[in-house]
Amino acid sequence: MEIPPKSPDGSEKSPQSKELLTSNTASTLCISSRSESVWTSTSRSKWDIYHKPVIVVSVGAAVFLFGIVITSLSCIQIKNKNVYKMCGPAFLSLGLMLLVCGLVWIPIIRKKQKQRQKSQFLQSLKSFFFNR
């Protein structure tokens, strides 16, 4: 690894580091938005907290039901019976996977919320006792 040359007073940074500091990439925007939500104590609605797992569960249930319909169509004498036999179980498994992932995601979010509440409580206690 090469160390970039510094000016004698040490205040001037290399052009690469200036680029990194001033660039607004998606990752830095994502990080800054997350850090803002940690430091602000605004309460969020239930929909704001649970909308992603609810959407995943809903899509998973819809795909699962679609898989049931496609699989049941393979039992009926239809022209493209082999296509239904291949696609039906695929939709069943994909829908079940999304459904289970969404259902597991909800308790994880609840646990994170409880930990966040506990840490905010402990931070307030710490600031109360140490700021005297």
Per-residue pLDDT, averaged over 6-22, amounts to: 53
Report the pLDDT value the prediction gives residue 53, as an integer from 0 to 100.
94
Q: Each residue of 25-52: b (16+ CB within 10 Å) or e?
A: eeeeeeeeeeeeeeeeeeeeeeeebbee
Nearest Cα neighbor of 60 from 103, 109, 108 is 103
Whether residue 35 has pLDDT greater than 70: no
C-alpha span between 109 and 70 (Å, rounded): 34
Nearest Cα neighbor of 104 from 44, 60, 41 is 60
Q: What is the mean pLDDT of the chain?
A: 76
Q: For 68-82, what is each residue's pLDDT tens digit?
A: 999 888 888 778 788
Q: For 36-52, what is each residue's pLDDT tens digit?
A: 444 455 678 888 888 99
More confident call, 34 vs 54: 54
Whether residue 124 has pLDDT greater than 70: yes
